[in-house]
Amino acid sequence: MTALLSVENLSKTFTFRSGWFGPPQSLDALSDVSLSVAPGETLAIVGESGCGKTTLGRCIVKAMPVSAGKVVYRPQGYAPVELTALDKRAMKPWRRDIRMIFQDPMSSLNPNMRVFDIVAEPLRIHKVARGRALEEKVVEVLGKVGIAPDAIGRYPHAFSGGQRQRIGIARALVLDPKLVIADEAVSALDVSIQAQVLNLLEDLKGEFGLTYIFISHDLGVVNYIADRVVVMYLGHVVEDAPTETLFERPRHPYTEVLLEALPIADPTRRNKREKAVRGEIPYLGNRPTGCPFHTRCRFAEDRCRTDKPALRKVGQAEVACHFAESLELKGAYAEAPMT
């Protein structure tokens, strides 16, 4: 199936000075990242803090410029659009199609605006509706996320975290987008509220015909909502696989590390594997040579320290590891009787 959006060899480097007179330094936040999302798919991007997943989301919506590579959007009925080549004005129509939901609704919603204006603002900016039609649209979309019409005159602080996130979702959906990028959209919520918001996102996906890019560090959440998962480490894609495949048969040692951190409720199925990772995540400005994961990988060999593995097809996954075919890694749900 043709991708709705593809990211092709995208790199992002931040340059800065340490102190007033310090030498210029650079951080490679994204390095040659390629991925795609099909229409109607929920693609999760996972990894630890600093792996580049949020930077990637921001590059896709052009909240920041890229250093190299491109983002191509393929709207139905139109020729493909290279978003990264567009200036602010040319990008504006496509901002209706691609919207973002942020992690912390308290900081992403303007505390000085009433709920009505928060949700109506995108309609006004894009001149989509006004007057009575605008009011009806705002009330309609708030209703779809479970916010009653009598709430439109209140301010964000009057709502709980879950309700504020619903308002943020309404603001993202009011322009009838095609692609929604949810950046840690449920991370700030209590677990019970997380489930409600995830179910809401799932319902809205069907109702609005949405495609999601779901950025998260939480593999439990990802397992619940995603069709496919891209695992990132130090600004690189290290594995890209269907969700079920990734959880049952991870191919990259870093994916195994993430799965190992998942809590397992049944103690008789407790995973007895050797601790799969060592050391801290390296500083981005001092990126390891060869495989970016070699400083922490228990399978690292000499070749890993010099040769960077390319992403390549292994089974149903794409994996960046020299030994992906031969490593014996176990999934999150592998049986391992207690001894």
Q: Distance (Å, rounded) from C-alpha 166 to C-alpha 145?
A: 6
Q: Distance (Å, rounded) from C-alpha 26 to C-alpha 192?
A: 41
DSSP states of 175-237 as a string? T--SEEEEESTTTTS-HHHHHHHHHHHHHHHHHHT-EEEEEES-HHHHHHH-SEEEEEETTEE
CB of 233 vs ligand SF4, minimal distance in Å: 9
What's CA 125's distance to the chain center, in Å? 26
Nearer to ligand SF4, 155 or 323 (CB): 323
Hey, which residues between 20 and 39 contact ligand SF4 (CB under 6 A)? none
Q: Note whether 102 binds ligand SF4 by CB under 6 A.
A: no
Q: Note whether 47 binds ligand SF4 by CB under 6 A.
A: no
Q: Note whether 166 binds ligand SF4 by CB under 6 A.
A: no
Contacts of 129 (CB under 8 A, 6+ apart): 123, 137
Q: Note whether 300 binds ligand SF4 by CB under 6 A.
A: yes
CB of 301 vs ligand SF4, minimal distance in Å: 6
Among 291, 317, 329, 332, binds ligand SF4 (CB under 6 A): 291
Q: Note whether 297 binds ligand SF4 by CB under 6 A.
A: yes
Query: Which of 288, 311, 284, 327 minimizes the C-alpha distance to 48?
Result: 284
Hey, which residues between 227 and 286 contact ligand SF4 (CB under 6 A)? 252-253
CB of 336 vs ligand SF4, minimal distance in Å: 22
Specify the DSSP class assigned to residue 99.
E
Nearer to ligand SF4, 36 or 295 (CB): 295
Q: Note whether 212 binds ligand SF4 by CB under 6 A.
A: no
Would you tell me which residues interact with ligand SF4 (CB under 6 A)? 252-253, 291, 293-294, 297, 299-300, 304, 309, 321-323
